[in-house]
Structure 1
């Protein structure tokens, strides 16, 4: 049941419904920790007049950059340079995300109803 190439143990290969269910629950918990506050943050960043459009636009652009581009280039990068370079690419993408998050303004004490 071990992966012959890498020697790693995969949850799906265990063949246990309980292990799979536990893996799904942990994944959903981590996802909720990330996406829960994100919705509140996005709505606080923009004036009321543009809030819905700006939050939706920024969320979808982020999904395209972070969720569509890496799988599209993964095969080419991995085939040409190996998995380590693709990992470095993902790390650089995470660093850009961290820098953008650090550059956001604090909205505490701001009147969010002003247009």
Structure 2
């Protein structure tokens, strides 16, 4: 009977070890990637009539989280090509799955300089 318990414990340990190694290198979708899926977090500060960043650069496939903070005035941001709008004090998370340059702009009329509140999301 002792031998049966020893064998069962050994089998259980091997199953656990195989399960751990099988999970390594997989992203949330189960695809083997070799790297962990990391969220690239960006905080975009807005004030009358500019953003603190004119360009945001990410790589294709990056998971991106953009947070909008209003330092002055009332603003929101719309990212063309990704159809994402970020309200003040909020965040939006998405996967940068299209390469190119995508304009972002203030989406809430904020005065005479409103048209100058633009930037580019560059996905390489």
Q: Considering the TM-score relative to the shorter chain, is it more than 0.5?
A: no
For the superposition of Structure 1 and Structure 2, which TM-score range results when normalised by the shorter chain? under 0.3
TM-score, with normalisation over the residues of structure 2?
0.24
TM-score, with normalisation over the residues of structure 1?
0.25
Q: Rg: which structure is higher?
A: 2
The structure where helix makes up a greater share of residues is: 1
